[in-house]
Chains A and B, each alone.
Chain A
Amino acid sequence: MGHKIMQRRQLADEVVQLTVEAPLIAAERRPGQFVIVQLNDDFGERIPLTIADADAKSGTITLIFQTVGKTTHLLGDLREGDTIANLLGPLGQPTHVEKYGHVVAVGGGIGGAPLYPIAKAMREAGNRLTVILGARNRDLLILDQEMRAVADEFILCTDDGSAGRKALVTEPLRELCEATHAPDLVVAIGPPIMMKFCAETTRPFNIRTVVSLNTIMIDGTGMCGGCRVSVGGETRFVCVDGPEFDGHKVDFDNMIQRLGAYREHEDVAHEKCHLELQANERNASDT
């Protein structure tokens, strides 16, 4: 049992892409959806990861993630041929794709992964597509080639100017909003703080802005309510009502606080995981 890893690529520092055998998920998934990953039945945690791409013919899905905690670290350490014990999905409401006119897709850091299939689908639906892709520096950029290939207009920015424009993604976004033909829809996916400021950027222009949230989840099917967020003053569940919501209505500050609920535990577990991996490597080289 389990899902075999067909291919592993290191996309950037701390960013790994896995192509995983999951024929049912590959056949059913649509842009905007995610999976829950668990590495060990008894003691492993369940984490949500967005599906960056899928190939129904070969029965595989592509997961792209940053190794930020224990589970993503162990996942990133797996090799081709290894298996992932538990994979549940595709979960969440698919992105509503239609012809809006001019769509601006804004991706920050690892947010480029879930954004890519959405951007592709928006383009295929006949929209004019502008992609703004941002990262802290050039070594952290992912999917820039792929995004460039699907976009009508492609804007690259880095915080330090090591690739593309030296700017935050909100800068070109504001310029686009101010242009004569303002965007009809903005889709922004990235760190919560980036999504918050993208929503603030488009708010004065009254441009519909969709964000995709990645909160703490256990089951991913509506049962635990751990993923809840406040949207327009109402409590919504990211797993069954989302993951996409109106960015102008999401209470990002509350969401950011909730994301940090287990920070202390996560840091300790991550540190321990590093030490164990190092010890394993040492043992391996000793023998």
Chain B
Amino acid sequence: MQHNGHLGPCIFSAKDVEIQFNLRGKTLTAVRKASLDLYQGETMAIVGESGSGKSVFTKSFIGMLDKNGAVTGGQLLYRGQDLTQFKTEKEWLAVRGKKIAMVFQDPMTSLNPVRTIGEQITEVITWHFGTPHAQARQEAIEILKKVGISDAETRYKQYPHEFSGGMRQRVVIATAIACRPEILICDEPTTALDVTVQAQILNLIRELQRELKMTVVYITHDLGVVANVADWVSVMYAGQIVETGTAEEIFSSAVHPYTKALLRSMPQLGVKGHDLYSIQGTPPNLFKEIKGDAFAPRNPDAMEIDFEEEPPLFQVSDTHFAKTWLMHPYAAEHRDALALQDAKEKEKQKPAAPFDYQNAEKLLQVQDLTVKFKLGSREFKAVNNVSFDIYKGETLSLVGESGSGKTTIGRAIMRIYNKVDGSIIFGGEKINGKIDKKKAKELHMQMQMIFQDPMASLNERAKVDYIISEGLYNYHLFDNKEDRLKKVENIMAEVGLSSDFSSRFPHEFSGGQRQRIGIARSLVMNPDFVVADEPISALDVSIRAQVINLLNKMKRERSLTYLFIAHDLSVVRFISDRIAVIHKGRIVELAECEELFRHPLHPYTKALLSAVPYPDPKVERNKTLISYDPSVHQYDAFPPNWTEITPGHFILANEEELEGYRKEL
């Protein structure tokens, strides 16, 4: 291939790589003839959902496949050397970590918990270069400074648990770049981090890349991150690279149906009150032989040929390639029809009218809620003096970072944590503390919860039938067995699951299907109010839109009220009527959705909004990050109050700050 628009020479080239795993006696083809070129100093993002083979593919670059996996075809050329020919560990050690380094997703588990972070960096320098310890130590401190760790000499001697998640990821990055590698592979480096920290880490990697002239490979499912960092994007589906091109090309003129669908299903692009574009179904099973285009069964606009022949890689522009039959001259007619259809759809969508708060009645009131937890002999407030109301029929979102107390509020409302201060009033009655059995029973039927992790929230040893009927059994809400089965069947149909599935066990389902089972379980008793605790954050991108649409559909059809707990502002903006921003156990700002995005007042809200990734490279590259420093408040001297600054817009501030905010408005 020519050097079209590339900054430097091609230093790494994967050609028709095939990787197979042996699992339970069956062969799984995780990567099916994927090719990729990496050029010096550039950033390549590989996008795909879990199971697409993106992680496995890049792991093969450094010979780190699990024991039961192997590269069974193709070549991995690094500076002329074919890495697939490596036989001994020694050959790999000259490349792995030294020339090609890797950063993992979870910084909390990537570092050895019982050794100082300094030792862990020094170790890799002395290992690869034989540098004397004292000198390596000096280098390690320099690198720590470089990744933005202040007071590096002291922190050198500290252990991983003394660092926050973001700081740990900096240390992990420092370890990875300690040998000045040519290629840095980042496997979902920010997925486990909070949004504000994510933006900082991405900036850090970008700066380091420029300084060290590294090639960076990002593996991610988050198109917002891609837009932020990538020069080049490769989209992976079912073990193949289906489309590759510059970031601009992929975001503005994608041609593969999967890429297009992925981009269209981003909640940022959704129109409120309408269904989000969603990809149907679930990713394919790689144990089976895949015929034709792997995405065809999930593509409503697929052509007959997609089911029969595997498409070749078509060239769209000098830099843009796509593996889809749509690019074939014969498909011109179909392509035109699709374009017309798209244009029509875009036209008719107008945002729904905002929720009418004038005539709304209060369903749930939370007043001065405080939840304390004991940590050893110390006590800390997970939720600190929080007050808000939820109106009948609205969706209120609670947005905050991990550990902010948002889940605790949800669980306090659900009475999972019952020892709380303050009061929670539902339908005019206090429901926290001791209540009588009859009332508790009523509440169980009126309030339900949807959980975050579809893998953990279903009982593995029970059949779907039992899981969904659990609530019906508890209150005997059926006349006889047929009636119960009919109820189960109805709700399964509503969440889009075939009733044949009812005799299966949960592990036979994909994440999205499991989450739909969880939703069915919560809604089978016809509750009025649902606490949805991060219901989509554990799901794959292609599945999220499905579940968001399902939640919205259920809300419309059953006139539900949601408390939606999330950390992802883009989803929240699409789904909610009002948003409450929570930080360290306190709600700092609460307003109607558009009002909050238009006039954020609290500095934390501003920081949060500035960090949200947006799936458009033009927007992402020109954004400025606002960082939040809690020490700007002088709350010791002048404690803040929860104040309604304009009708419906609440903020946590003291008098002096309120003055400032009023001026801003």
Do these two chains really belong together in a complex?
no
Q: Give the A-binding residues of B (Cβ under 8 A).
A: none
